[in-house]
A and B are shown apart, each in its own frame.
Chain A
Amino acid sequence: MADERNDVVTDRAGGKISDLWKKEDYWAIWLGFILLIAGMLIYFPAGPKGMDAKIGKANATLQAEAKRAPFKTVAWYQATDSKKKLKATSSPAGKKIKAFTTKPHKWSSNPLDAFFMGKEKADAKAAKGAAKYKKAAAADKAALAAAMRAERAAASKRFKNTALNDKAKSAIGDWRTAHTKASKAKKKAKAKPYSQVWYLIGLMIAMGVFFGIGSQVMNKNMGKFLVGFVFVFGIAVLAYVAASQATMKEYGIGYAAWAILFGLLISNTVGTPKWAMPAVQTEYYIKTGLVLLGAEILFGKILSIGVPGIFVAWVVTPIVLISTYLFGQKVIKIPSKTLNITISADMSVCGVSAAIATAAACRAKKEELTLAVGLSLVFTSVMMILMPMFIKAVGMPHVLGGAWMGGTIDATGAVAAAGAFLSDKALYVAATIKMIQNVLIGVIAFGVAYYWCAKIDCAPGQKVSPMEIWHRFPKFVIGFIAASIVFSLLYQSFGPDTGYALIDHGAIRGMSKIFRGWFFVLAFTSIGLATNFRELAHYFKGGKPLILYVCGQTLNLILTLTMAYIMFYKVFPEITAKI
């Protein structure tokens, strides 16, 4: 049965063979897998030259250094850094794909800088960056020399002198800070001229045809789709431009917020042009983007920080999600179950990406997804500022603070910023916990889709047969999970180091991530272009979504801090000591 409602994020799949080419869910799977297969074909043979030998050498050094000293030595860090450079995205093909698909560039006061920068301006920017880099590189060199001196002094006593060891650890820590600063400064010193306009036009045509073919086969007019796509793509580009503004980047206000806002602004003032409506296809873009997102969910990563990470990200998060949902149903009495679960997932898992996956899995309305995204963005910005301040003020250990922020701040970028603001240690823990939590999206989306088919979307007391569940099940979720399983298996078979080079920094960051971002911005633009302000206000009635978010986040903050403390300081202190 096709769902004819226009305000639902997904539609229902039927049980005919023709569904395979007539339904959006299946088209999302085919389109998503075309890109993923292309990513594999391009990047898997494009590993850096001598990759296996370099990995072997780095691991041998790491092993030897681990046995030699009771702390991470200079050589240990240098070996880790050498593995960091092994990326298939650095291949010529990877660079070309990046140039073709790049979003508008960062700008401060002139929006044209997002699209174009002449040689003169780029040279001036590079010169400014070069001066800073020169200073940072000198500091890095001096810090490295001091670190090596301190390490040699500790080694001369066969690492048995605690005071010398501590001095070496501190000097190495200072060098790492200086090294990170120098690496960042180096990037800024590399400003090159660019002209993004033609690439964007090319990308618009490519993506228009890509989605247009599916539209045509699904009995929609491809020509009308392409005409409308120019408008939707244009607004999506504007959303990226706004998100690339320097101040907005610092606040963490990303493309999702701008795409919805610009869409809403147009649709609720002058109105979305009728000729653009054939390309206002929220579900089509979102489902295809989610299939790509599936490839980014690598289950092998959940052990990246050991058992403590599993408890903080995979035990606390589902508890908070279910508790918040039940609280919303029983205490606050949120009228819409789909709004309740979307906000609960968005708050407890990882913000916008979790909201998209959950909303699509339970067929939430566009307005509900918009509301969840809005709440997440506001609280992410606030928590990103307040949490490091609080952690510093109370003198909380940075491993604990990092785990706490990683488990509670919604968006990964904000987690990284808040963590790095405290220290490298806090960044490493925070970002890794968040990454493990990101992987949970796959399980949550599948669980929500199944629960909605089997329990929610049926009459009271009705028992739904497995066949009926299959018919109702949003098929794109199968593609989403299949992509995750395929890429997780590949990652495991390659091993983490080769997987890092060919999957993480190949098929994922060089293909899936890029197009998924573009598809999501098109989806959010479409949501804005098809949403009425008054309907949106209706969902916010009584401030219940806000109350739900605040109560759920409070529970999340308490449980995550408690679990992080127990795991990192009581049960597994040896892991904490190693970090």
Chain B
Amino acid sequence: MHTNANPGPDGRQRPSGMLRRWSTLLFGIVLVWLFMFVIAPWIQKSPSVKPLADFIEESGIDASALFYTEVEEASDAELYMRSTLKYGPEGTDSP
């Protein structure tokens, strides 16, 4: 019925094997849950990580974005840089 999981010699999944596989899956899910809700938040409390984590939460920046088109701030940055290079201040403050 399934790929990758090793079947018994007759090609069928044995009940004990199935139980072990489902238990492993459940164990994996528990590990993911532990990482997401226990380990990761605990690490975030450390003084070196907390300021950045709080900042990301506050600013709403998507730190997981892969490409520039997925980041709103990249678009703002480009617009700002373009305006700066084309219309950068030309005046001088020297008396």
Contacts and interface: CB of A to CB of B under 8 A. Distances in A.
B12 interface: no
Interface stretch (A348-356, A364-372, A448-456, A556-564): A348-356
Contacts of B82: 304, 496
A496 B86 CA distance: 11
A106 to B, nearest CB: 9
5 contacts: A65-B87, A161-B93, A251-B53, A255-B64, A517-B70
A14 interface: no
B27 to A, nearest CB: 8
Interface stretch (A194-202, A314-322, A336-344, A415-423): A415-423
Contacts of A505: 75
A254 B66 contact: yes
Nearest to A386: B48
Contact of B2 (A253, A272, A578): A272
A305 interface: yes
A431 B63 contact: no
By DSSP majority rule, is chain A's interface helix, strand, loop, or mixed? Answer: helix
Contact of B21 (A79, A270, A351, A385): A270
B34 interface: no
Interface residues of A, number: 101
A578 B88 contact: yes
B64 A253 contact: yes
A188 interface: yes
B64 A421 contact: no
Given A161-B95, A413-B64, A419-B73, 20 more contacts: A79-B83, A80-B79, A80-B80, A160-B93, A160-B94, A184-B58, A184-B59, A246-B57, A249-B63, A249-B64, A250-B53, A255-B64, A384-B52, A417-B52, A417-B56, A420-B55, A434-B74, A578-B85, A579-B81, A579-B84
A240 B39 CA distance: 20
A254 B64 contact: yes
B2 to A, nearest CB: 3
A417 B4 contact: no
B70 to A, nearest CB: 6
A412 B74 contact: yes
A296 B67 contact: yes
B89 interface: yes
A563 B79 CA distance: 24
Interface residues of B, number: 63
A447 interface: no
Interface string A268-280: 1111111001000
Given A293-B67, A513-B70, A84 B83 contact: no
A575 B90 CA distance: 12
User: Which residue, of A67, A270, A509, has the highest number of chain B Cβ atoms within 10 A?
Assistant: A270
A412 B70 contact: yes
A398 B40 CA distance: 29
A269 B64 contact: no
A556 B71 CA distance: 23
A301 interface: yes
Interface in A507-535: 508-509, 512-513, 517, 520, 530, 532
Contact of A66 (B25, B41, B88): B88
A62 B87 contact: yes
User: Which residue, of B2, B18, B63, B80, has the highest number of chain A Cβ atoms within 10 A?
Assistant: B63
A235 interface: no
Interface in B1-49: 1-5, 18, 21-22, 24-25, 28-29, 32, 36-37, 40-41, 44, 48-49
A34 interface: no
